[in-house]
Copies of this chain bind each other. A is one copy, B any other.
Amino acid sequence: MSGSAFPPERPADGGPAMERAEFDALFERLRRDRLPAPPRSARAAAARLVRTGEVVAMGRPWDCVAGPDNRRPALHLMTELADVTPPEPTVHKDFIAADYHGKAQTHLDALCHIAYRGLLFAGVPAREVLSSRGASYGAVTDLLPGLVGRGVLLDVARLRGLDWLEPGTAIGGPELTACAERQGSPLRPGDAVLVRTGHLARRRRLGPWDPDGLSAGLHPGAMSVLDGSRASVLGGDGDSDVRPSPVPGVHSPVHVLAVTTMGLPLIDNMDLEPLAETCARLSRWEFLFVAAPLNIPGGTGSPVNPLAVF
Contacts and interface: CB of A to CB of B under 8 A. Distances in A.
A126 B1 contact: no
Interface stretch (A7-15, A28-36, A70-78): A70-78
A239 to B, nearest CB: 11
A123 to B, nearest CB: 14
Contacts of A132: 78-81, 83-84, 132
Given A52-B40, A292-B307, A294-B62, A95 B82 contact: no
Interface string A59-97: 111100111101111011111111110011111111111
Interface residues of A, number: 106
Given A55-B145, A57-B295, A134 B94 contact: yes
Nearest to A135: B92
A127 to B, nearest CB: 8
A52 B44 CA distance: 6
Contacts of A114: 89-92
Given A62-B294, A80-B132, 6 more contacts: A53-B148, A57-B145, A59-B294, A73-B73, A292-B305, A292-B306
Interface of A: 1-3, 5, 39-44, 46-57, 59-62, 65-68, 70-73, 75-84, 87-101, 106, 112-118, 126, 130-135, 141, 144-146, 148, 249-252, 255-256, 260, 288, 290-307, 309
